[in-house]
Amino acid sequence: MLKPWFALCALFLTLGAIAEPSPRQMALFNNNCVQCHLRPGVGAPLVGKAQDWQTRKAQGEDALLRHVVEGLKGMPPLGYCSACSEADFRALIRFMAGMPAGTGQ
Ligand code: HEC
């Protein structure tokens, strides 16, 4: 399963300084979120695809966080990540949606 890694490397290059999750948070992302959020066709907004996130981002980070924790239609509660803390989810949401790092907490 090397493919997601290549995609992620490409993402890091393109997203650059937008948001920088820690290596531990990236591992959580790889183990839990990638299967849906890097796969076109499952209805999940794709990581790094700005148009998928435009209206979602407009809800604000707290609303996004609530939808991750509680689930939203095809989005399972906690995104299957029982090991993720609130700070982890916030970092991953900012990373996925291309929001600036270090705003808020
Ligand atoms: C089983 C597939 C699946 C997994 C695993 C998954 N997601 Fe999702 N996610 C979805 C789908 C589908 C949507 C779109 C839901 C909708 O609006 O219809 C979504 C939406 C979202 C949204 C946008 C919510 C909003 O308010 O619009 C965020 C943020 C998100 N996911 C984060 C994550 C994170 C972080 C993880 C890993 C911890 C994760 N997802 C794991 C399928 C998944």
Residue 27 reports pLDDT greater than 90: yes
**What pTM value is reported for the model?**
0.85
Task: Flag whether 47 is in a domain.
Answer: yes
* Nearest protein CA to atom 8 of ligand 1, as residue: 75
Mean pLDDT to the nearest integer, 9-21 = 62
Task: Flag whether 78 is in a domain.
Answer: yes
Residue 2 reports pLDDT greater than 90: no
Task: Flag whether 104 is in a domain.
Answer: no
Q: Which atom of ligand 1 is nearest to the CA of 56?
A: 27
92-105 pLDDT, tens digit per residue, is 999 999 987 655 44
Distance, in Å, from the CA atom of 90 to the CA atom of 86, rounded to the nearest integer, reads 6
CA 15, 19, 22, 26 dihedral sign is negative
Q: Decide: 60 in ligand 1 pocket, CB within 6 A.
A: no
- In this predicted structure, what is the pLDDT of residue 104? 44
* Structural domain for 91, as ranges: 3-97
41-78 pLDDT, tens digit per residue, is 999 999 989 999 999 999 999 999 999 999 999 999 99
Q: Decide: 59 in ligand 1 pocket, CB within 6 A.
A: yes
Q: What b/e readout covers 36-67, taking b as 16+ CB neighbours within 10 angstroms?
A: bbbeeeeebbbbbeeebbeebbeeebeebbeb
Distance of CA 105 to the CA centre of its chain: 16
Tokens of 61: 């980070």
CATH number, position 58: 1.10.760.10
Evaluate whether 87 touches 105 at the Cβ level (below 8 Å): yes
How many angstroms separate the alpha carbon of residue 70 from the centre of ligand 1?
10
Q: Decide: 81 in ligand 1 pocket, CB within 6 A.
A: yes
Distance, in Å, from the CA atom of 69 to the CA atom of 83, rounded to the nearest integer, reads 12
Q: Decide: 64 in ligand 1 pocket, CB within 6 A.
A: yes
Task: Flag whether 85 is in a domain.
Answer: yes
**Mean pLDDT taken over the chain:** 87
